């Protein structure tokens, strides 16, 4: 079983739509959780960390459910510039191991 | 924020040659750096963990004699793809975890697209 699993998509949504991605992780000892954004052939860039209480940054909302071991990312009012691959990343602090999901591809259509 | 510099961005080489990729932490000291490989439409796969002053730790299935890692200083790790073949063509990317960031975060280099002819 993979450490981190994501629906690869692709998600094709119209501008202004709300879209949600989910990610599940298998190791209950996971400590830190992140969403990264990656454009084609570019390095991943940190979008936001995910906290137990949930956190919001503008149009982006991240949630963590430790009991069910999943993380979500909600994007409201999608923009064309949101088109990218979104990577779920989990850190198991013991040994400082980072695990990546396969990424979810999002295309926002005019 | 922390900056990780990776060089070169693009490499095209003939089969059988060796290619060296550099990863530098510009404004912090990194005792540990990570090397990943990413094939088209796939996620990043950790190849190895580079440890300053000691041997790298390779993930299962990664040939350490083919992918040589050297982490001779606190700001530089290098990955050398030896005797590269077309199947080694991929996007290679490094990352580092700056100390004192609180929740551990990764900062990535800009990646190296390797094409082996």
For residue range A1-44, list pLDDT tens digits in order. 678 999 888 899 999 999 999 999 998 888 889 999 999 888 88
Query: Bigger pLDDT: B16 or B29?
Result: B16
* Mean pLDDT, residues B90-115 taken together: 82
Min distance A77 CA to chain B CA atoms (Å): 26
Min distance A78 CA to chain B CA atoms (Å): 22
Would the CB atoms of A101 and B43 count as touching at under 8 Å? yes
A35 at interface of B, judged by CB pairs closer than 8 A = no
**Other CB atoms within 10 Å distance of the CB of residue A60:** 17
Instruction: Walk across the sheet containing A19-25 and list its strands.
Output: A4-6, A19-25, A70-75, A60-65, A55-57
Restricting to A residues 57-76, those with a Cβ less than 8 Å away from any Cβ of B are none
- Examine the pLDDT at A49 and tell me if it is beyond 70: yes
pLDDT reported for residue A94: 57
Would the CB atoms of A43 and B108 count as touching at under 8 Å? yes
CA nearest B108: which of B44, B12, B31? B44
């Amino acid at each position: 079983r993979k450490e981190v699993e994501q629906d690869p998509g692709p998600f094709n949504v119209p501008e202004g739509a709300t879209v949600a991605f989910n990610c599940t992780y298998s190791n209950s000892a996971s400590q830190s959780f992140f969403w990264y954004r990656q454009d084609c052939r570019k390095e991943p860039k940190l979008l936001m960390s995910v906290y137990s209480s949930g956190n919001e940054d503008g149009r982006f909302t991240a949630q963590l459910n430790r009991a069910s071991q999943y993380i979500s990312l909600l994007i409201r009012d999608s923009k064309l510039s949101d088109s990218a691959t979104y990577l779920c990343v989990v850190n198991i602090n013991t040994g400082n191991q980072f695990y990546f999901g396969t990424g979810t591809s999002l295309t926002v259509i005019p | 924020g922390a900056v990780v510099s990776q060089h070169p961005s693009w490499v095209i080489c003939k089969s059988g040659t060796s290619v060296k990729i550099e990863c530098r932490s510009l404004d912090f000291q990194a005792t540990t750096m990570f090397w990943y490989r990413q094939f088209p439409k796939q996620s990043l796969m950790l190849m190895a963990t580079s440890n300053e002053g000691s041997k790298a730790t390779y993930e299962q299935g990664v040939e350490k004699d083919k992918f040589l890692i050297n982490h001779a200083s606190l700001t530089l790790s290098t990955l050398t793809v030896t005797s590269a073949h077309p199947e080694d063509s991929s996007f290679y990317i490094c990352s580092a975890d700056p100390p004192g960031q609180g929740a551990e975060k990764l900062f990535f280099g800009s990646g190296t697209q390797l094409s082996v002819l």
